[in-house]
Copies of this chain bind each other. A is one copy, B any other.
Amino acid sequence: MIPKNYPRVIIEAVQPQIDCGRFPIKRVVDEKVVVSADIYKESHDKLAAVVKYRKHGAKVWQENPMVFVDNDRWQGEFEVAEIGPWEYTVEGYAERYLSWVDEITKKNVPGAILTSELLEGLAILKTSAGLAKGEDKAQLNAQIATIEGMMADEDQEVAIDQAICSTMQRLMAKYPDRSEGAECTPALQVYVIRPITRFAAWYEFFPRSQSTVYGQHGTLQDSRRRLADIKQMGFDVIYLPPIHPIGHAFRKGKNNSLVANPDDVGSPWAIGNEHGGHMALEPKLGTWSDWDQFVATCRELKIEIALDYVMNCSPDHPYVTKHPDWFYHRPDGSIKYAENPPKKYQDVYPLNFGTEDREGLWKEMLKIFLFWIEKGVTTFRVDNPHTKPVSFWEWVIAEVHKKHPQVVFLAEAFTKPKMMRLLAKAGFAQSYTYFTWRDSKQDLTDYVSELTAGPMKDYFTGNFFANTPDILPPILQIGGRPAFIMRAVLAATLSTVYGIYSGYELCENEPIPGKEEYLDSEKYEIKQRDWNAPGNIVAVITRINKIRRERPALHNYNDVAFLAADNPQIIAYYKMTADRSDIVICVVNLDPFGKQSSFIHLPLEKMGIREDEQFQAHDMLSDERYLWSGRTAYVELSPSGKMAHIFKIYRW
């Protein structure tokens, strides 16, 4: 048997593409998707190609022409105008008219008899005339008649001119005969996300700590009153740890002690008691109407709510009695608590994703998401997704997106690199990163380049948290206030999405000795803070967030460009808009203890700055201005003064 179809136009290596098209790339709404592909064919035919795209489910493709780049590589682009899933592909075809124009032009030497060639040309013109519409159709047919007339008069020269003239080329380009072509199948997928997914400042806080009355359990109303200050600092997203009822059995006491006092509030991550589980509110936080008011105020202030999604159940969780089969059992029939031998977490039961009642469990997990979306939550920070099957996440995120394509999932997966990447491919729009532990110049450069300049930038958005309730990194423990400023600048400018956990602005840094854990961690007790405590860096953070909002260059996640700096303690990098109209250069002192100075080296060509040109570097943090010219600039930063520059480049 010979093959039924035998594509003669070859289409290969379509980019962007993840794992042979297995997963969608991600783009922000209204962003351009630049598509390239190898397109070629046996023989010397002229080719043409289009990139085709449509919203998922749409019948008809839209298409844009692709242009030849070099070495059989073609490129085109399209815009994704709506959030949700889209698809795109590439079609290439033999451009019979252009091939013919090329042939007859070469053959058209004095004395050549080209009647036969002209007849072939007419056939091609007629095919396109058949495809043409209205005005164009008429014009094409008229032109064809003219050419036939000239051929009758044996006026070959003019007939050829008429057939290849620019008018004809313009018309023919609109109605090509694509019968000899090929399309890349299956189509590739792109998931279109909201801008806030790719540009946002996050602030994490515990509602129960927000009371202004000493020793009192904070409420959603207390939290609501905090929102204005948080917005004032310039944050776009507030992230709330679980706000559900907390289990009693094996409740953890202060500093994670195994025995809790009666008044200990316990860990919000041990979810569920007699008041309910994942779809209930901890009564001490307030009522559903308090929640609704909280959501309303967030809406007014344009603050987005990110809720923690945690699959732990306390032994008191309603599921335990209603669905014992959703949990792991010991041979004696008792339910297994979480363990990481020799560590035991008796206050938490993990769920068994392989349970006989997988249908029931998985759909319930989906229901929790849908419930909170109805309640006004649009972002979920998912706790430890890497300990559940990835295929569950791929399914549940797709199910949520069917009804709510705008919902954002952040993967809190502090695990091995390949699992972190896979979770992002499977649907998580944002991911926690290793940033928290990267503090040397080399490590920061390598890691940020991996995230923003490699294949990951097509599907993985790193949310750079400077601290979390679980992580007080060594650099903050030892570096104090200068380190807090330094790390805030790095987080906020190296990535477009970053966050802090409340207390950061107060430079809280007392650890459990020898650990990365906070002493008297808020995970196990209520913490009340004086937001005006001396030494706070609220003003700095406010400034950083303002600069981020105002500078378009800092909205660009991709391709952070590092600058050579002679001093290993000084890290320098720049971002700019595609049109180079906005250039921001960041210079940070990585040494929280000492003054550091360095020459930094500027790639003027890339910035579009002339070698002999004078330009102004305006430090938007300190409001100081420097006049620079040439390829090198001198910088000096110190803990006692400035730890960082964020320069805007002014040219005139």
Contacts and interface: CB of A to CB of B under 8 A. Distances in A.
Interface of A: 2-3, 6-8, 10, 12, 19-20, 38, 40, 42-44, 71-72, 103, 106-107, 109, 116, 119-120, 123, 330-332, 340-342, 353-354, 358-359, 362-363, 386-392, 395, 416-419, 422
Contacts of A353: 6
B42 A395 contact: no
B71 A417 contact: yes
A342 B109 contact: yes
Contacts of A341: 103, 106-107
Contact of A391 (B8, B43, B422): B8
Contact of A71 (B332, B354, B418, B422): B418
Contact of A72 (B43, B72, B390, B418): B418
A419 B40 contact: yes
B418 A2 contact: no
Nearest to A109: B342
Given A109-B342, A331-B116, A386 B103 contact: no
Contact of A10 (B109, B388, B422): B422
B42 A390 contact: yes
Given A2-B358, A2-B395, A342-B109, A387 B418 contact: no
A340 B99 CA distance: 12
Contacts of A109: 342
B2 A359 contact: yes
A103 B535 CA distance: 47
Given A10-B418, A42-B386, A44-B340, 8 more contacts: A6-B392, A6-B395, A7-B391, A12-B19, A43-B387, A71-B416, A72-B416, A109-B342
Contacts of A72: 416, 418-419
Given A71-B416, A107-B342, A6 B331 contact: no
A331 B122 CA distance: 11
Among the interface residues A38, A332, A389, which one has the most CB atoms of the partner chain B within 10 A?
A389
| A-B complex: 10 closest residue pairs judged by Cβ atoms | A106-B341, A6-B391, A20-B20, A119-B331, A116-B330, A2-B362, A8-B389, A72-B418, A107-B341, A43-B387
A651 B622 CA distance: 68
A10 B423 CA distance: 12
Contacts of A391: 3, 6-8
Contacts of A342: 106-107, 109
Contacts of A19: 12
A342 B108 CA distance: 9
B418 A12 contact: yes
